[in-house]
Amino acid sequence: MFAGANGAGKTSVLEAVFLLSHARSFRSGSRDALLQRGTSELSIFAELSQGESRRVRLGLGRGLSARWEARVDGSAATLGNVVSECAVVCFEPGSHALIAGGSEERRRYLDWGVFHVEQGFLPAWRRYQRALKQRNHLLRQGVTQNELFDPWDRELEASATLLDQQRRCYIDALRVHLAQALQTLLPELGQVELRYRRGWAEEGELAELLRVHRGRDLGRGHTTVGAHRADWSIAFEHAPLREHLSRGQEKLTALACLLAQAGLYAEQRSEWPIVCLDDLASELDQLHQAAVVRHLQQAQAQVLLTGTDVPAALQAAAYRMFHVEHGELTTLL
């Protein structure tokens, strides 16, 4: 538990942990906002215990060049190496965007989960992004020759097909965990359905659809179908549309998604990810706070929690207390 006044730097502690797992902040804004005012670089170091016998040291740094430098056990590494070693899920005031926001946030959520269980995901994702970048460049240049588009269209189809298969498998595995989490947090909304859309028509081959939509894409200057347009949504028995949810229900649904992802990770990897809860007391009522604390206690997950005071739900549990002031941590309990 990290306690302190507003603006003391509590959220920055969670942000640093999240960075090691996602190579980005959970807060919106430019990447330069990560740098402390008046400084030109940042660095994060952590030591993780993985089971009883393995410890790993991670490092991540970036200067004004905006290029990340990563290290694992003191040796230069890729961002993928660092992210694969450190799994973190985080619930914070902006998490409702997972339900109420745009599709990009939901793809990030989905792809983070797939990345941690499918070794072939990252190479396929990189292949897809490279081909997409090249095709979009041709579109912005107003190129019309088929022979210049065809290689990239075929590459997009090959990598997108693999990404789609892996995403579907992950969604299928996630459904059970999500239903359990929502039954705990939002039982009044009834049965839940998790829907996935791959980003192009189910009945068509992507390469053919890219050819058909090329004229439209030329007019817009970017590719309008493909795996980069994938999305998923949640429909409840008593709230079939997202617009039927209150702001509080959106938050609880987002929290359920994060708890479900953590549970699925634990099932597949035999260890829990780190769970970060930023200002839980102001985001949830006491009843739901208690439900979340009980769930995580049973899971034996490491939980990093922030707040101005210790939530009532936590007072009967075992925890360590840290005071945060001006970004400095002091052990209290």
The residues, any chain, with a CB within 8 Å of residue 176's CB and separated by 6 or more, are none
- Distance (Å, rounded) from C-alpha 96 to C-alpha 283? 10
For the chain, the straight-line distance linking the first and the last C-alpha, in angstroms and rounded, comes to 10
Q: Is residue 127 one of the residues assigned to a domain?
A: yes
Q: What is the pTM of this model?
A: 0.91
Q: Is residue 313 one of the residues assigned to a domain?
A: no
Q: Is residue 124 one of the residues assigned to a domain?
A: yes
Q: Is residue 16 one of the residues assigned to a domain?
A: no
CA 104 vs. chain centroid, Å, equals: 10
- Distance (Å, rounded) from C-alpha 3 to C-alpha 322? 6
Q: Compute CA distances 274 → 60, 205, 223, 267, 269, whole Å.
A: 18, 39, 36, 14, 13
Q: Which of 221, 100, 200 is nearest to 156 (CA)?
A: 200
How do the pLDDT tens digits run along the chain, 333 residues long? 899 888 888 998 999 999 999 988 888 655 556 777 777 788 899 998 876 778 899 999 887 667 889 999 999 999 999 999 999 999 999 999 999 999 999 999 999 999 999 989 999 999 999 999 999 999 999 999 999 999 999 999 999 999 999 999 999 999 999 999 999 999 999 999 999 999 999 988 999 999 999 999 999 999 999 999 999 999 999 998 888 899 999 999 999 999 999 999 999 998 899 999 999 888 888 899 888 888 888 887 899 999 888 888 887 777 888 999 887 888 876
Q: Is residue 98 one of the residues assigned to a domain?
A: no
Count of structural domains, the chain: 1
Q: Is residue 17 one of the residues assigned to a domain?
A: no
Q: Which of 263, 245, 242, 116 is nearest to 184 (CA)?
A: 263
Q: Is residue 143 one of the residues assigned to a domain?
A: yes
The residues, any chain, with a CB within 8 Å of residue 79's CB and separated by 6 or more, are 23, 68, 70
CATH number of the domain to which 175 belongs: 1.20.1050.90
Domain interval for residue 200: 110-246
The residues, any chain, with a CB within 8 Å of residue 74's CB and separated by 6 or more, are 57, 59
